[in-house]
Structure 1
Amino acid sequence: MDAVEFDLETFLPFRLNRAAEFIALRFAAAYKAEYGLTRPEWRTLAALGSSGRMTATAVGAHSTMHKTKVSRAVFTLEERRWLKRTQDEDDRRVEHLELTAAGHNAYRELTRLAADYSAELARLIGEDGLQALSVGLNAVEAAMARRRR
């Protein structure tokens, strides 16, 4: 394909990334204003809140974050007393992370904020748009899962 023929605006990875970034930035502004969290902190909190006890490596894989971002987020959430670390009994190099009671409370509050944002997006996109988006995303995810095999 000639560079002149290439249309970035129709390139699927570009469109998906741009749409995701628009949506994520708007939500990030809400939780930053309300709770002072960065995106890595929110993503770490969300991973632990939805999945329970995990290692930092598992948090990174779950949320597609680099280990340094996870490490900084863990440090900050630990300072807030929203998570605690425990050393693995069999492998002292491994730490397990889990939310404290305060972390669970923060997660519940943030999921309410996320639900409100999700409802707002649903109103903006509309039922037909949401259905079409869901079908399209399912197709992309299924195609990429087949490709990995």
Structure 2
Amino acid sequence: MNPENVIADFDLEQFLPFRLNRAAEFVALRFAAAYKAEYGLTRPEWRTLAALGAALGSSGRMTATEVGAHSTMHKTKVSRAVFALEERRWLKRTQDEDDRRAEHLELTPAGIRAYRDLTRLARYYSAELSHLLGQEGLQALSSGLTAVEKAMPKKPR
């Protein structure tokens, strides 16, 4: 096969991973601008806060490793975000009694208030996206994402 034909036949604009990543980035950056303007949070800080907020319905706490897995962030980004949120007094660390190397992270009352405020902002943004996409577009996107999530293994091979 001629390498020039392979290159000519490849359309990056139609390559699904490229399109998914670009769309996610567009959507995330608009939301990031909103929470950065209102709360001064970085994306890793928001994602860490969101992961811990999501845990409120269960144990209310997570380890940094669990936060990283939940938010698909590298451990160094999680570590920096945890430090920043701890500086704001939005989260606290508790050493695991059975394994002194592990720490449990949980939101403080101030962190819970911040999370609730940020979920309000997220709901507004979600409503804006719903309006922009329309009901039909939103349903099509949701169906497509569900199909991708079901078809792909959780971890790369």
TM over 0.5: yes
Alignment gaps of 5+ in structure 2: none
The equivalences for 1:103-142 within 5 A come to 103-142=111-150
**Shift in alpha-carbon separation, 1:146–1:58, aligned structure 2, 3 A:** closer
1:68 aligned onto 2:76: yes
**Shift in alpha-carbon separation, 1:65–1:116, aligned structure 2, 3 A:** same
Which portions of structure 1, spanning 4 or more consecutive aligned residues, are displaced by more than 6 angstroms?
146-149
Aligned-pair CA distance for 1:145? 3.5
Question: Distance in 2 between the 1:126 and 1:81 partners?
Answer: 39
Aligned-pair CA distance for 1:4? 1.2
Query: What is residue 33 of structure 1 aligned with on the other side?
Result: 37
Q: TM-score, normalised by structure 2?
A: 0.92
- Once the two structures are overlaid, the 10-residue window that deviates more, 136-145 or 78-87, is 136-145
Question: Distance in 2 between the 1:57 and 1:113 partners?
Answer: 27
Aligned-pair CA distance for 1:127? 0.2
**Shift in alpha-carbon separation, 1:40–1:90, aligned structure 2, 3 A:** same
Question: Distance in 2 between the 1:140 and 1:66 partners?
Answer: 23
Alignment gaps of 5+ in structure 1: none
1:7 aligned onto 2:11: yes
- Aligned to 2:9, what secondary structure does the other structure show? coil
